[in-house]
Structure 1
Amino acid sequence: MISRDLLETLFSAFSIERWNDHPRPVRLVEMDKQAHKGIIAFLVARSDGGLSEEDLPELAEALVFEFLQRVVLTDLKPPVFYRLMESAAPELNRWVLDQWERPLEELSPELFRRFGAYLEGWGSRTPLRAVTGAANYLATSWEHQLIHPLAAGLFGAAETRRELRARLEEHMTVPLVRHTLLRLAEAPSSRTCDFVDLVAQLRFQKRWTRIPRIPETSVLGHMFFVALLGYLLSLELGLSPRRRAWNFFAGLFHDLPEVLTRDVISPVKKVAGLEGLLKGLERDLMGEKVYPLLPHQVAADLRFFTEEEFVDRARSPQGEVRPCPEEEEGDRREGEGWTVVDGRLLDWGDKFAAYLEAALSVRYGVKPELLTEACESLREGYGGRPVRGRSFAYLFDAFR
């Protein structure tokens, strides 16, 4: 069972500020960093020399586990964290497991067991951990490049820069790391670096732009939170590890076109005929601006994730995509080796994430009328809507 405590702890990453001992041109939070890391990890995994498709369930699980670890260790500065992990990893990981034992045991004892096993393997050199490690430092490096002009004169700034470069150089076997180091040296590099930069800009786009809220949330962080919800709902519904992973990554990319169109508010989208025009424009712009930056397989994956993001669909091994209007059709195609994404599940997760953004702000005392009306509308529209025949109305009720 997905508990209120679990969701509140996950959501707290929207309030966890990064680099808070440095001057920052914008607010940098943990949820956004984890989203950027997850997107980079998928990009590395699906590029030449990355992971096989059969490894994606483990990659999704690893990204979830590393987020769970980080969200309860946020008070540790990265240099302190890495030194402690080198000298006292068992003790630190035992403490992490103690924080998560009750909510994860309530959700899935098997997931909690696997979380413990993953933490025990911390420091091991495997292809999976090479991908997540490289993605972590690439996302951190992007943040550092943003703040460095303001922080360059501070005591310790040069050492921080050297340490981060050294961490990146530990992952030189990853092509994207080599291209990033070339770019940092102002040398010609891969266009894939442009994609990494482009998607990071989604952290600058605030959701609910016309309505004050606490905490503010970005489109980038929202994408990762929907990915987490997609994973948790898939787990609760007993879906296969492979399907959980594809739902996670589909959630992670579901709002990617907004990097080109911005976050269009729902009332505008509902104007007669406008939603279809916006979708067509998104497809055109993605084809012009985004897909040319990516390897062919990654571009195909992003089309699958974004063009009908809230429709149940399946993709054959040959790349044919078909909608699955009936749940049984998706289950059947999965059994035949197709890749299945549960778009309606992600739609529910997207709206529940919006509800949490509104409801928690109301609880914190920032509750303009439009926000309270949005809470009621989302609860009435989705609270009673089942997901694959299962009601999750109790989650809406938990935050009333």
Structure 2
Amino acid sequence: MSTVIRKSLLQLVFSGAFMKRWNDRLRPMELMEVDKQAHKMIVAWMLLTRVTAGMEQAERLALVEETIEGGLFDYFYRLVITDIKPPVFYKIKANREDYQKLTQWVLPQLKPRLAPLGPDFWERMTEALMEPEEKTLSRRILMAAHLYASYSEFRVLKPLNPQDEEMPEIEESFQTRLRGLTDIPGVAELLSGDNEFSRFAARAGQLRFQKRWSQTPRVPETTVLGHMFLVATYSWFFSVEAGACQARRHNNFFTGLFHDLPELLTRDIISPVKTSDASIGELIKQYETQELERKIIGPLKSGGCEDLAERLGYLLGLSVGSEFIATVHEGGEVRHVTESDLRGPKNLDELDPKDGPLLKMCDRLAAFIEADTALRNGINNEQLHQARWRIRQMYEHRPEVMGIQVGALLADFD
């Protein structure tokens, strides 16, 4: 299988780590686009879990597919129009003709990097972006998730801007638009704030405060939250390339989006520490699992969010010991399967499959790009050189994962 995912696409996805948000306001920290996108898609997943309850499989899979792709389309669009302030953009969007003119300018900026994904992907993206109105259920879910994630950022900077005359108007706009979406299951809970559903959404957003590689200078610095979005997005594109069924690529995307959730409780423990000794790695894993159960899974279950707790447990591989183990739901239980199983008879929607090795590869690839980008930006640091070298070595003798030519892809970065 040839690799259509190229260095340029991976770098495009990563470029949101450079994009500053709210940069015309006083803020306690830099708020980055890639972090906001992660929070947005986490909230979209939460809403999807509620909205799809009771749906037939085909309808549920179609809605999830449309929502994930729609979120990625929005992200790519945002990467191009970065300098347009939201109030100006919303005015453009309110005028269909003006919005389509802007979009006709945006699309050619993206095509060189996205065209290798094929004409079908490009056609879906063009069709979605040319339509400014939020009419479909997936678009409305994404809008609710976008408003919640942006409002969360607003509440971080609000106390530092008491003299800003626009702040009350901005807050009212967030609240009014979210209230207009309360027919979507879960949105009213997010707005009320006094329930476990909204507490989980707020807690997930706190991962934007945790810097990765905290003792290593980098440009740009990435957060745990932003890293999770990178892994999720890479997982999505590689899952599509690997021929994954719909359920498998959905599970891979959302597992990538949550794979470092335990770091909300343990902080970012660097890989050399985890791998320095098998017993230390196992101890850390046990502690992460215990804390995850005590502070996340348990409260969700007792707070009326059993649906979220159950799906999180599966995505994070709690019953098999790791999110990086390939699994299916079969015979009423979660079962460990091989890579060849997933590339063959187990690649079925009804088995709810999830890749392990592919997700681990995407996790390492995101770390490689974080290190490589910092080095290319002039940060000459031994830890970054070591990280980049170590990841290359991992795929020197095993250059293919789930049909993806990882070795050839990493060679593009020479």
**Can you list the C-alpha shifts for 1:192-217, whole angstroms capped at 9, x where unaligned?**
11111111111111111111111000
- The amino acid that maps onto 1:23 is L
Residue aligned with 1:334, SS: coil
Cα deviation, residue 221, structure 1: 0.4
Distance 1:153 1:117 in 2: 42
Cα deviation, residue 241, structure 1: 3.2
Which region of structure 1 is more displaced relative to structure 2, 132-141 or 336-345?
A: 336-345
CA gap 1:137/1:290 in 2 versus in 1, 3 angstroms: same
Contact 1:207–1:263 (Cα < 8 Å) also in 2: yes
- Normalised to the residue count of structure 1, the TM-score between the two structures is 0.93
- The amino acid that maps onto 1:182 is S
Contact 2:190–2:197 (Cα < 8 Å) also in 1: no
Contact 1:257–1:306 (Cα < 8 Å) also in 2: no
Distance 2:54 2:127 in 1: 21
Residue aligned with 2:20, SS: coil
Distance 1:351 1:140 in 2: 29
Counterpart residue number, 2:324: 310
- The amino acid that maps onto 2:281 is E
Which region of structure 1 is more displaced relative to structure 2, 204-213 or 294-303?
A: 294-303
**Can you list the C-alpha shifts for 1:138-195, whole angstroms capped at 9, x where unaligned?**
1011111111011121132222222222222221223543234334xxxxx2211111
CA gap 1:170/1:285 in 2 versus in 1, 3 angstroms: same
CA gap 1:296/1:324 in 2 versus in 1, 3 angstroms: same
Structure 2 residue 413 is the aligned partner of structure 1 residue 390 = no
Structure 2 residue 135 is the aligned partner of structure 1 residue 135 = no
**Can you list the C-alpha shifts for 1:346-379, whole angstroms capped at 9, x where unaligned?**
1011101101100110011012112111111111
Structure 2 residue 366 is the aligned partner of structure 1 residue 353 = yes
Equivalent in 190, 198, 201 of residue 195 of structure 2: 190
Structure 2 residue 345 is the aligned partner of structure 1 residue 332 = yes
Residue aligned with 1:337, SS: helix
Counterpart residue number, 2:165: 155
CA gap 1:336/1:101 in 2 versus in 1, 3 angstroms: closer
Computed over aligned residues only, the root mean square deviation of the Cα atoms, in angstroms, reads: 1.9
- The amino acid that maps onto 1:9 is L
**Can you list the C-alpha shifts for 1:297-322, whole angstroms capped at 9, x where unaligned?**
2211111111321111112484x211
Residue aligned with 1:47, SS: helix
CA gap 1:336/1:190 in 2 versus in 1, 3 angstroms: closer
Distance 1:49 1:305 in 2: 17
Cα deviation, residue 48, structure 1: 5.3
Contact 1:324–1:330 (Cα < 8 Å) also in 2: no
Which region of structure 1 is more displaced relative to structure 2, 11-20 or 174-183?
A: 174-183
Counterpart residue number, 2:87: 79
Residue aligned with 2:346, SS: helix
Residue aligned with 2:353, SS: strand
Map residues 1-400 of structure 1 onto 2, 5 A cutoff.
Answer: 1-47=4-50, 52=55, 53-54=60-61, 55-87=63-95, 88-183=98-193, 189-270=194-275, 271-291=277-297, 292-293=299-300, 295-307=305-317, 308-316=322-330, 318=332, 320-328=333-341, 331-335=344-348, 337-382=350-395, 384-400=398-414
- The amino acid that maps onto 2:9 is L
Contact 1:14–1:217 (Cα < 8 Å) also in 2: yes
Q: Which ranges of structure 2 fall in alignment gaps of 5 or more residues?
A: none
**Can you list the C-alpha shifts for 1:120-154, whole angstroms capped at 9, x where unaligned?**
33314222112111100010111111110111211
- The amino acid that maps onto 1:85 is K
The percentage of aligned residue pairs carrying the same residue is 36
Distance 2:94 2:331 in 1: 42
Contact 1:35–1:220 (Cα < 8 Å) also in 2: yes
Contact 2:247–2:349 (Cα < 8 Å) also in 1: no
Residue aligned with 2:154, SS: helix
Contact 2:395–2:406 (Cα < 8 Å) also in 1: no
CA gap 1:63/1:341 in 2 versus in 1, 3 angstroms: same
- Normalised to the residue count of structure 2, the TM-score between the two structures is 0.90
Distance 2:51 2:68 in 1: 19
Q: Which ranges of structure 1 fall in alignment gaps of 5 or more residues?
A: 184-188
Residue aligned with 2:221, SS: coil
Distance 2:107 2:357 in 1: 32
- The amino acid that maps onto 1:303 is G
- The amino acid that maps onto 1:208 is W
